[in-house]
Amino acid sequence: MGKWRLFLILIITAVVISVLLFWLQRNKPIAVTLQQVSSGKIQRTVTNTRAGTLNACRRAKLSPSLGGQIARLPVSEGEVVKQGQILFEIWNDDLLAQRDLAQSEILASEALKLQACIQAELAQQEAKRVGKLLERGLTSDESADKAISLSHSSTAACDAATANIDISKGKLKVAQAALERTRLRAPFDGTIAEVNGELGEYVTPSPVGIQTPPAIDLIDNSCLYVSAPIDEVDAPQIRAGMTARISLDAFQKQFFEGRVRRVAPYVLDKEKQARTVDIEVDFLSDKDNSNMLPGYTADVEVIIDEHQNSLRIPTEALLEGNRVYLYDSDFDTISTTDVVTGLSNWQYTEILEGLQQGQQIVTSIDAEGLADGVAVKIKPE
C-alpha cells in the first residue's frame, strides 16, 4: 500500500511540475522589434526581374575590312585615345607606293598642263596677229586658217591637260582609300578596353555570319546607362521620361537618380526564361557615373506613382491578409489589426485605414511564438 501511495505522489508531482513549466514558458515575454507608424513619401515602383547591366553609350568593336599582317599597333589596353587616332595598321607598303605614285602623277600632270596652256596662249596671240595681217591683205587665207586651227587645238590640249590633273587626283583618292582600309582609326574619344593581336600576326576579317573577336574594343566611359529586363506584366506601366532609381552591387547602399530613356518596342522571349521587355535608364548627373565601369551589375526601380506625407509602415511588418501586430504599451502585449493599404514597395507600404500615426507595430514578425494577445518585450536596438 505504501508503494502505491509513493508512486501516486510521484505522478502528481510530475504533473504539477509540467503544468508549472508550461505556464511559465507560456507567459514568458517574446523579444520583438517595434517601429512607429509615421508619415512620409511613399512610392509604387517596378523593378527588373533579372540583373541589369551598366553599358557605355558608345562602344565600338573594331575589326579590319581586309586581311593582312599587323605592322603597327601603337595603342595598348587601358590607353585613352582621341577621335581619328590610328589604333591598328596592316602591312601596306605596296599601297603606300601606289599613293606616292599617284602624287607624282599629279605633279607631272600639272607640269604638262602648264606647258600646254602656255602653248595655247601663244597660239591664240599668233592667231590674233595673223588675223590683223589678213585684214590688211598682208597674208593669205590659208595662213590665217592654220593659225586659227593651231590656236583651237592648243586650247583643247590645255583643257585636256587640266582634265588629266583631275584624273590624277582621283587616282590619289583611290590609293588613299585603299590605304585607309588597312588602318583602324578611333571613331570617337574613348578608352581601349581590349586588344586582340600582336605585331607580326596575321588577321582576317570575320566571315559572313560568323562572329570573331574584334581587333580593338573601344569604349566611351564618359556616358553610361543601365539596361534592365522588366517583366512583361509590368512593362505597360513604364514610359520614357519616368523617374527611376539605380543601384549597383559595386556601390552598396548607394542609390543614383535616373530617368527612363527607352522602352523596347518588343517582348524578349528566351528559352527557359520569363518573357521580359528591356528598358534603358540614364543617370541624371554625369558626376554619378564618373567612377563606374561598363559591365557592372545594376538594378533599377521605376517610380510609377508617388504620394507625399502619407501614413506608412515598413513593408516587412505586413502580415498575410493585410494585418499587423499592434503593440499595447499598457499591458506589453500585441494584437492583430486589419489595415487597408495603398501604394507599396519593398521598403514602405501606405496605410489608408486601420492605424494612426505614433502607434507602434512589430517589425520582427518572424519571431517564434507571436500570436494575438502574447506578452512581448522590446528588443534593444
pLDDT for the residue numbered 138: 73
Q: What is the pLDDT of residues 96-127, one digit of tens each?
A: 999 999 999 999 998 988 888 888 888 888 87
User: What CA–CA distance (Å, rounded) separates 39 from 357?
Assistant: 7
Domain segments of the chain: what residues? 30-43+308-378, 47-57+221-306, 64-90+186-213, 92-181
pLDDT for the residue numbered 148: 80
Cell output for 145 = 586658217
Q: What is the pLDDT of residues 42-62, one digit of tens each?
A: 888 888 988 999 999 899 888
- What is the assigned CATH class of domain 30-43+308-378? mainly beta
User: What CA–CA distance (Å, rounded) separates 202 from 351?
Assistant: 69
pLDDT for the residue numbered 24: 54
User: What CA–CA distance (Å, rounded) separates 319 from 314?
Assistant: 11
pTM score, two decimals?
Answer: 0.64
pLDDT for the residue numbered 130: 77
pLDDT for the residue numbered 83: 94
Q: Which residues of the chain have pLDDT under 50?
A: none
pLDDT for the residue numbered 128: 85
- The fold adopted by the segment(s) 64-90+186-213 is OB fold (Dihydrolipoamide Acetyltransferase, E2P) (2.40.50)
pLDDT for the residue numbered 359: 92
- The fold adopted by the segment(s) 47-57+221-306 is Elongation Factor Tu (Ef-tu); domain 3 (2.40.30)
**73: Cα within 13 Å, side-chain hemisphere:** 18
- Exposure class string for 8-23: b at 16+ Cβ within 10 A, else e: eeeeeeeeeeeeeeee
